Chains A and B, each alone.
Chain A
């Protein structure tokens, strides 16, 4: 029998003028690290690192399900709303969780759309954080697919979404974790993946903001998997080059969901990224 160290609770905050009940998990103690999941998924993507005693010995890892995702409910009246995530709502949500949990300048670690918003926050709200780990994150890529495929009455959006994103998983990923990663997409609520992709593939506002990021105050480290077709190493490199002082590591055997698809392969990159979150070390690097 195993009982994991992860604990889960609920937090109610006001976002967009309405209360939102947000599910969050945490493990460990020490410097807080707020972890953001990808589009169409949830907090479970971070469970391996949250169960990693070597990481949680001196870091408090916190992950939360975005509203509409995982165990966080959509807002009241959702049944008549079209879910379309925006940069503004995403930023408001992250900041509301930080304030609600009373986190003091956490490191922000986000993957995919979570990495995108981490870079937005690095540009717009850096004083609230002590460093940024932007995983599979880039300035912008338009969709190479039609996001409307993933929300239609005649097909299962979750199954189609999972089949699509499987293109972004490395063949080195252990089979069980590949399928655990895809399961989250299969479980995603109707229209949620589409609404996330709307933010990810249509909002290019980050491009003009990258040069504002001051890595002397808050380090920025990017991580990208070679098997990521959505945010390719070229996309991440272009983005890192536009941020003075940002660093980048390419993970040769990983894809778009590294912490989830291949926890063992990702661990050393994440540990190295945490070490870079010390501004003194980042400056010396």
Chain B
């Protein structure tokens, strides 16, 4: 799983339009997959680091908690209904979003498109 997040980190480096969208976003986001923690620290629209947990000392702004199977489906080029969006995961009971949701919403396009960078490239992001 960490490979995928590191791949997203690399792909973001070559996505100037996303860096521009996220230029005011410098936060740490916790992504929890099957109980395993991944801390993605963003700095002005780039991912500075991807660090695995567990950690009780790493402050995060918001968290997406889901499972590996759901993320695998999310990363299909044409996901099944519900798996096509992070809020879809929440709606179908396969994901939970915690923390400062308003910060997520203010940066929602950026965050969703960054997460969708790992989506099989057939069509389009988020």
Are the CB atoms of A229 and B109 closer together than 8 Å?
no
Q: Report the count of interface residues on A (CB-CB < 8 A).
A: 20
Are the CB atoms of A175 and B124 closer together than 8 Å?
yes
Given A144-B91, A149-B102: A171 touches B108 (CB 8 Å cut-off): no
* B contact residues around A95 at 8 Å (CB): none
CB distance from B98 to the nearest CB of A (A): 15
* A contact residues around B81 at 8 Å (CB): 226-227
CA distance A226 to B92 in the complex (A): 13
Indicate if B68 sits at the interface (CB-CB under 8 A). Answer: no
Are the CB atoms of A164 and B78 closer together than 8 Å?
no
Indicate if A105 sits at the interface (CB-CB under 8 A). Answer: no
CB distance from B51 to the nearest CB of A (A): 26
CA distance A166 to B124 in the complex (A): 12
Residue of B78, B82, B123, B126 touching A166 (CB-CB under 8 A): B126
Are the CB atoms of A159 and B109 closer together than 8 Å?
yes
Are the CB atoms of A163 and B84 closer together than 8 Å?
no
CA distance A70 to B55 in the complex (A): 49
Given A171-B123, A172-B78, A178-B124: A166 touches B85 (CB 8 Å cut-off): yes
Q: Report the count of interface residues on B (CB-CB < 8 A).
A: 21
* B contact residues around A175 at 8 Å (CB): 123-124
Among B79, B108, B123, find the residue whose CB has the most chain A CB atoms closer than 10 A: B108
Residue of A159, A162, A227 touching B84 (CB-CB under 8 A): A227
Indicate if A11 sits at the interface (CB-CB under 8 A). Answer: no
Are the CB atoms of A171 and B78 closer together than 8 Å?
yes
* A contact residues around B106 at 8 Å (CB): 155, 160
Total cross-chain contacts (CB, 8 A)? 49
CA distance A218 to B90 in the complex (A): 38
Among A160, A167, A175, find the residue whose CB has the most chain B CB atoms closer than 10 A: A167
0 or 1 for each of A224-254: is its CB under 8 Å from B? (1 = yes): 0011010010000000000000000000000
* A contact residues around B102 at 8 Å (CB): 149
Indicate if A130 sits at the interface (CB-CB under 8 A). Answer: no
Indicate if A170 sits at the interface (CB-CB under 8 A). Answer: yes
CA distance A131 to B91 in the complex (A): 33
CB distance from B103 to the nearest CB of A (A): 10
Indicate if B6 sits at the interface (CB-CB under 8 A). Answer: no
- Chain A residues 30-88 with CB under 8 Å of chain B are none
Are the CB atoms of A149 and B123 closer together than 8 Å?
no
CA distance A149 to B107 in the complex (A): 12
Which residue of B has the minimal Cβ distance to A232?
B91
Which residue of A has the minimal Cβ distance to B102?
A149
* A contact residues around B86 at 8 Å (CB): 167
* A contact residues around B87 at 8 Å (CB): 144, 164, 167, 229
CA distance A163 to B101 in the complex (A): 14
Which residue of B has the minimal Cβ distance to A170?
B84
- Chain A residues 121-176 with CB under 8 Å of chain B are 144-145, 149, 155, 159-160, 162-164, 166-167, 170-172, 175
Indicate if B88 sits at the interface (CB-CB under 8 A). Answer: yes
Instruction: For the complex of A and B, list the 5 residue pairs with the smallest distance between their C-beta atoms, beginning with the closest.
Output: A163-B108, A167-B85, A163-B109, A171-B78, A167-B87
Known interface pairs A155-B106, A160-B108, A175-B124; 15 further A-B residue pairs with C-beta atoms within 8 A, sorted by A's residue number: A144-B90, A149-B105, A155-B105, A160-B105, A163-B105, A163-B108, A163-B109, A164-B87, A167-B84, A167-B86, A170-B84, A227-B81, A229-B85, A229-B91, A232-B91
Residues of A bordering B, CB below 8 Å: 144-145, 149, 155, 159-160, 162-164, 166-167, 170-172, 175, 178, 226-227, 229, 232
* Selected A-B contacts with CB under 8 Å, 26 pairs: A144-B90, A144-B91, A145-B105, A149-B102, A160-B105, A160-B106, A160-B108, A162-B109, A163-B112, A164-B87, A164-B108, A166-B109, A166-B112, A166-B126, A167-B84, A167-B87, A170-B84, A171-B77, A171-B123, A175-B123, A178-B124, A229-B85, A229-B87, A229-B88, A229-B91, A232-B91
